[in-house]
Amino acid sequence: MIAAPTTAPTAVHDAPASQQPLLEVRNLKTYFPVKRGLLRRTVGQVEAVNDVSFTIGQQETLGLVGESGCGKSTVGRTLLRLIPASDGEVIFDGRNVFDANRAEMKKLRRQMQIIFQDPVGSLNPRMTVARIIGEPIHVHGLASGSELEDRVASLLKRVGLHADHGHRYPHEFSGGQRQRIGIARALALEPRFIVCDEPVSALDVSIQSAILNLLNDLQDEFGLSYLFIAHNLAVVEHFCDRVAVMYLGKIVELADRDTLYRNPLHPYTKALLSAAPTPDPNTKRQRIMLEGDVPSPIRLFHGDAVKAHSGEPAVREEKGVTYISRESLLDRPPLKEVPGEPGHFVSTHTFDN
């Protein structure tokens, strides 16, 4: 058993400017109040995001994975200030996003955009596609008149649609086409960073690959950086450079893609990977099951709704299947770097050989 004193990854402040990450998230927390009673008094809080830190480099894609409700989408929306943060910092290109005033935030929004999960709900049904894509361009005063129309037509063509599609409404398109419209809207302001909030989860498998190829081509063409939020580990493996695994509001493992899939160390990561389907039916994989209900992230001011488990994860074997208690995974110490694997961080007290 080898102790690993190295602490969690943080921003490298003394690195040369060329090596500085484009985005730094430091100890991010997002809590929502729990109100009860006739007077709607606050009696607790939902700890949706609890002390999350990571960085994203220039033209890098960081995958953020985990089960539904673990806080992935809340992270993406909080760092864009679509949801207010409870604590922490988000540094974009050397500027603190949370300290920006209204005028500064308007400038930052040109460089930080989002592609939403639902291609139906994210598009205004009463606006034509041309108006949807052209609205941010008009609001930021980048173009008007015929120049605006030309820019919208160019964006539509770039995402694989026709210029005359701009005269139609969102309900006239398929799910994949709607997502292309959402991508065009995100590109309208020529951003440097895009939060991809499960952009292919609502699409057919045959359409997913086309959208992912489009995002990959756009990254190469415009030098984009992505925070790619997903629960499909097969998609993440082929699309992302590094992967962060979230469990109940915290990151429990962070590594580059190849390292994480070759040598997952946290029990939760192992369970997620064991559940991912493989293309080869003859491949035998050790099945790891998470046992019990997903714990509640609610913390009451007078007694916790969630109590952390102390000690090692509760593991049992039965008929060739490994069962891990979800309650035993609530003890999530700070990330530590794995000995001999630079850049591989795991939430653990020690490492077993």
Which CB contacts under 8 angstroms, 24+ apart, belong to 120-127? 120/170, 120/175, 120/178, 122/182, 123/170, 123/178, 123/181, 123/182, 124/170, 125/169, 125/170, 125/171, 126/169, 127/169
Beta pairing class for 287-291 and 321-325: parallel
pLDDT in tens, 236-250: 998 999 999 999 999
- Indicate if the pLDDT at residue 327 is higher than 90: no
The CA-CA-CA angle for residues 174, 109, 61, to 5°, reads 65
β-pairing, 112-115 vs 193-197, is parallel
Question: Is 330's pLDDT higher than 90?
Answer: no
Comparison of pLDDT for 270 and 1, the residue scoring more: 270
The answer on pLDDT for 6 being more than 90 is no
How many other C-beta atoms lie within 10 A of the C-beta of residue 12? 12
8: pLDDT strictly greater than 70: no
CB 181 within 8 A of CB 132: yes
Specify the pLDDT at position 293: 82
pLDDT at 12 over 50: no
Question: Is residue 16 over pLDDT 50?
Answer: no
Least confident of 23-27, 156-160, 304-308: 304-308
- Per-residue pLDDT, 202: 81
- In the chain, what percentage of residues exceed pLDDT 90? 66
Q: What domains are there in the chain, each with its CATH number?
A: 17-93+192-347 (3.40.50.300)
**171 pLDDT exceeds 50?**
yes
Distant-in-sequence contacts of 201-210, Cβ < 8 A, 24+ apart? 201/117, 201/230, 201/231, 201/232, 202/117, 202/118, 202/119, 202/175, 203/119, 203/175, 203/176, 203/179, 204/175, 204/176, 207/174, 207/175, 207/176, 207/179, 208/235, 210/160, 210/176
Residue 309 confidence (pLDDT):
52
**pLDDT at residue number 318:** 79
Average pLDDT for 154-168: 95
* Average pLDDT of the chain to the nearest whole number: 88
Say what the pLDDT of residue 108 is: 95
Segment 91-96 mean pLDDT: 96
Which of residues 297 and 87 earns the better pLDDT score? Answer: 87
pTM given for the model: 0.88
pLDDT of residue 331: 85
203-258 pLDDT, tens digit each: 888 889 999 999 999 999 999 999 999 988 888 998 999 999 999 999 999 999 99
Q: Residue 281's pLDDT is what?
A: 67
Determine the average pLDDT of the residues in 27-31: 97
**Can you tell me the distance from the alpha carbon of 143 to that of 121, in angstroms, rounded to the nearest whole number?**
27
Over 90: is that where the pLDDT of 312 sits?
no
pLDDT(21) > 90: yes
Flag whether pLDDT at 9 surpasses 50. Answer: no
Does residue 13 carry a pLDDT above 90?
A: no
Residue 146's DSSP bridge partners are none
**Do residues 42 and 32 make contact, with C-beta atoms less than 8 angstroms apart?**
no
First-to-last C-alpha distance (Å) of the chain: 6
Confidence of residue 342 (pLDDT cuts 50, 70, 90): very high
Which ranges in 142-287 belong to alpha helices (H)? 145-158, 175-187, 205-222, 233-239, 257-262, 267-275
Distance (Å, whole) CA 103 – CA 108 = 9
pLDDT for res 351: 62
- Per-residue model confidence as pLDDT tens digits over 39-82: 899 999 999 999 999 999 999 999 999 998 899 999 999 999 99
